[in-house]
Amino acid sequence: MTAISSGSHTVGIDRIACDGYGLCAELLPELIELDEWGYPIVGSAPLTGKALAHARRAVAACPALALRLDRAPKG
């Protein structure tokens, strides 16, 4: 699982479940780009309010259910 974090939220990709549809990169281009085979590469930019809303939309739209949005552990 690859993840990025922003103080209170983390976006992760389950690479085993991912089928490389690329929808996440279309919906969240500021954080996710695709490699040469069409699989996501997660950037390290922190999530802001607007990016967090886009991340939620990308998680909901993932056809393989491979994208996750979790609260980051405190501390």
- pLDDT, residue 1, reads 58
- pLDDT, tens only, 8-37: 777 889 999 999 999 999 998 888 999 999
The CA distance from 21 to 34, in Å, is 10
* 25, 56, 63 from 74: Cα distances, Å: 28, 20, 30
Q: What angle do CA 10, 14, 17 make, to 5 degrees?
A: 150
Report the Cα 60 to chain-centroid distance in Å: 11
* pTM of the shown model: 0.77
Cα distance between residue 46 and residue 37, in whole Å: 25
pLDDT exceeds cutoff 60 at 50: yes
